[in-house]
Amino acid sequence: MPERKPRADAVRNREAVLAAADRLFARSDSPEHVSMADIAAEAGVGKGTLFRGFGDRTGLIRALHETRLEPIRQAVVDGPRPLGPGTPPAERAPALLDALLCFKLDHRHLSLALEEAGSGSPYGAGHYDWWHDTLRGVLEDLPGFGDGDFAAHALLAAVRADLVDHLVDRHGASRERLRAELAAYTAKLLHGSYQDVRTAHAG
């Protein structure tokens, strides 16, 4: 099956749509108020073009999210300290969460849209499984941490887009304050189990 190469106007429109969606999500106060028709109008194309190119609303949001997340993904898969794979786990786990938090702060409405889009939840839409697998692996490399499956879920839940949004909007939390609190929380969790290990070895 030979790869059909897409037409020039198709790729142009695709870019225009992604750019328009990004603008509208960033501008709007709530992503659910950005309709597909709005995006089409902003991009200067017909609605049919959206659905032809991305399947449905979820597909569009996912595609947009993917392009924005790619740098971070690369940094985690194959990058330098502290995100890359060469980092010791006690340093890498907080770094991963911090990076994710920063991403959600920088792309609040887009992240919000994505987590709403996935048929009602973030699980299954977006790169949740990838994040979870990665974080879980790092946690389980910590000596004595044990099963990291649930802990990874719980830690990822602590940086969910709607929680971040709530803390920023309602509580007026600043970026640095949130990062500090997340770091403190993570440290409390990891430090605790690490101390358990030292205690066990000592006893």
Going residue by residue from 4 to 23, which x/- string records binding to DNA, judged by CB under 7 A? xxxxxxx--x----------
Alpha helices by DSSP H, listed for 85-174, are 89-106, 108-117, 128-141, 149-157, 161-169
Q: For residues 144, 150, 152 and 157, what is the CA-based torsion angle, rounded to 10 degrees? A: -140
Q: How many CB atoms lie within 10 A of CB 114?
A: 27
Nearer to DNA, 123 or 194 (CB): 123
Given a second copy, DNA, none, residue 58, with its beta carbon under 5 to 8 Å by kind, binds DNA
The residue with tokens 């830690």 is 155
Nearer to a second copy, 47 or 191 (CB): 191
Given a second copy, DNA, none, residue 143, with its beta carbon under 5 to 8 Å by kind, binds none
What one-character-per-residue DSSP string does 1-25 give?
---PPPPHHHHHHHHHHHHHHHHHH
Q: Is 98 an interacting residue with respect to a second copy (CB under 8 A)?
A: no
Structure token pair of residue 108: 């609040």
CB of 39 to DNA, least distance (A): 8
Number of residues that bind DNA (CB under 7 A): 25
Q: Is 181 an interacting residue with respect to a second copy (CB under 8 A)?
A: yes
DSSP 5: P
CB of 25 to a second copy, least distance (A): 13
Q: Is 97 an interacting residue with respect to a second copy (CB under 8 A)?
A: no
d(Cα 161, Cα 167) in Å, to the nearest integer? Answer: 10
How many angstroms separate the most distant Cα atoms in the chain?
Answer: 70
Given DNA, a second copy, none, residue 174, with its beta carbon under 5 to 8 Å by kind, binds none
Q: Are 22 and 110 contacting, i.e. CB atoms less than 8 angstroms apart?
A: yes
Instruction: List the one residue from 123, 127, 137, 141 that touches a second copy (CB under 8 A).
Output: 123
Nearer to a second copy, 78 or 196 (CB): 196
Q: Is 24 an interacting residue with respect to DNA (CB under 7 A)?
A: no
Q: Is 120 an interacting residue with respect to a second copy (CB under 8 A)?
A: yes
d(Cα 24, Cα 34) in Å, to the nearest integer? Answer: 7
Q: Are 117 and 123 contacting, i.e. CB atoms less than 8 angstroms apart?
A: no
Q: Is 81 an interacting residue with respect to DNA (CB under 7 A)?
A: no
**Site residues for DNA per CB under 7 A:** 4-10, 13, 33, 35-38, 44-49, 51-53, 56-58
